[in-house]
Amino acid sequence: MAKTKKGRAAVYHGLGHPMEIREYPVPEPEPGAILVKMRRANICGSDLHMWRGDVDLAALGQPMPVILGHEMVGEVAKLGEGVTTDSAGQPLSPGDRVVYRYFVPCGRCKACLRGDDAACPAAYITVVNPCEPPPHFRGAYAEYYYLIPHQTVFKVPDDLSDEIVAPANCALSEVIYGLERVGLRFGETVAIQGAGGLGIYATAVAKEMGAAKVIVIDGIEDRLNLAKAFGADEVIDMRELKESYERSGRVKELTGNWGADVVVEVVGFPQVIPEGLDMLGNGGRYLELGNVSPLKYVELDPAMLVINGKSIVGVALYTAEALKKSLDFLSRTKDKYPFDKILCCSYPLEKIDKAFEDQNKGLATRTSIIP
Ligand SMILES: [Zn+2]
Ligand SMILES: [Zn+2]
């Protein structure tokens, strides 16, 4: 009998443990499933939160160990019986590069029925999966990824490199869906708190959606320069405007003494929320994307929302349509914006701890693992 083929994975046992490289048998795709060979897996902010311990998975009841990682691009290794196309009906064959949603909405709850399956409570549970039971490969930091039947998948256009397309299935799609959810309209003003990967994408997407003015706030010069390259009309340097009231005052000044119509939070610390709400003009919408770690708190004056008619919208996941739009957006604008500058360095799977350490120290904006 032929020996079972095995694939490597970086296995995460929880806080304080280094990643362990383990081998698992490579699963045969069941009917409707797809076995993907990983090409590039990024370290996203939320992976960093877990690795650093801002989120204690085991304490939240997650069965361990797990394979982390959810931002990735792969290629079809094997199609399960009955799979002939991607989720947009394009023909799919072994060797085709693909991106996919790293979560699977249930399709049967109130949110799913409403068409907002990004808010499906079951979807969030499918993001991180225990890796001991088959099919094992349900996280990005491994040689393979197993797409279960009905998981959203799209073929990657040939004109997009792995580097450019790898963040599409998390950062970029989340930003596109988020800006749609807050109803960003042509001619509105947008302020973005934080110029990491999400903030940079939000800048370009807001411009492409017709924002008249995009203002980006950060304290790191390289990031502010990158924001300008991605279309920021104005930047606010936190090293110059050190106080919260100075920054919100500047946003008001830049928006005709009114405040932004939309403010996007992509810093990931609850403390920035009151400042962000202060930057909003009356009737403005606050898009909360950055704070993904539970059990962190901030003090708010809710009357500020009530009296001024402001609202807060939280978004973590996105619709299947948003991922398709991400690919189309990248194809359309790849020569307009320097997308290759968002990623900085790549590491082999064996050096995954080093990749996390470097990104944690801020030595890298977005690192990749190439298994
Ligand atoms: Zn992510
Ligand atoms: Zn659902």
Report pLDDT for 56: 87
Distance of CA 71 from the midpoint of ligand 1 (Å): 6
Q: How far is CA 294 from the centre of its chain?
A: 17
Q: Which ligand number lies closest to the CA of residue 106?
A: 2
Task: Kindly give the confidence (pLDDT) of every residue in the chain, 371 residues in length, as a single tens digit, with 9 standing for 90 and above.
Answer: 567 899 999 999 998 889 999 999 999 999 999 999 999 999 988 898 888 888 888 888 999 999 999 999 999 999 999 999 999 999 999 999 999 999 999 999 999 999 999 999 999 889 999 999 999 999 999 999 999 999 999 999 999 999 999 999 999 999 999 999 999 999 999 999 999 889 999 999 999 999 999 999 999 999 999 999 999 999 999 999 999 999 999 999 999 999 999 999 999 899 999 999 999 999 999 999 999 888 889 999 999 999 999 999 999 999 999 999 999 999 999 999 999 888 778 999 999 999 999 888 876 667 899 99
Q: Cβ distance 30 to 358 under 8 Å?
A: no
pTM of the entire predicted model: 0.95
Distance between CA atoms of 353 and 12, rounded to whole angstroms? 10
Report pLDDT for 330: 98
Distance between CA atoms of 230 and 342, rounded to whole angstroms? 10
Q: Ligand 1 is a single-atom ion; what residues have CB below 5 A from it?
A: 44, 46, 71, 170
Q: How far is CA 36 from the centre of its chain?
A: 20
Phi-psi region of 238 (alpha: psi -120 to 50; beta: other; left: phi over 0): alpha
Report pLDDT for 55: 83
Distance between CA atoms of 94 and 76, rounded to whole angstroms? 5
Q: How far is CA 255 from the centre of its chain?
A: 29
Give me the phi and psi of 147, to 5 degrees please: -85, 120
In three-state secondary structure terms, 94 is coil
Distance between CA atoms of 131 and 24, rounded to whole angstroms? 9
**Strand pairing of 368-370 and 346-348?**
parallel
Nearest-5° angle of CA 140, CA 144, CA 150?
Answer: 80
Distance between CA atoms of 262 and 312, rounded to whole angstroms? 10
Give me the phi and psi of 275, to 5 degrees please: -65, -45
Distance of CA 113 from the midpoint of ligand 2 (Å): 7
Report pLDDT for 3: 73
Distance of CA 47 from the midpoint of ligand 1 (Å): 7
Distance of CA 112 from the midpoint of ligand 2 (Å): 4
Q: Ligand 2 is a single-atom ion; what residues have CB below 5 A from it?
A: 105-106, 109, 112, 120
Q: Cβ distance 190 to 124 under 8 Å?
A: no
Distance of CA 278 from the midpoint of ligand 2 (Å): 34
Q: Which ligand number lies closest to the CA of residue 316?
A: 1
Token code pair at residue 313: 């919208």
Q: Which ligand number lies closest to the CA of residue 317?
A: 1
Nearest-5° angle of CA 206, CA 358, CA 361?
Answer: 75
Distance of CA 205 from the midpoint of ligand 2 (Å): 27
Q: Which ligand number lies closest to the CA of residue 115?
A: 2
Report pLDDT for 15: 87
Report pLDDT for 365: 67
DSSP class of residue 148?
Answer: P
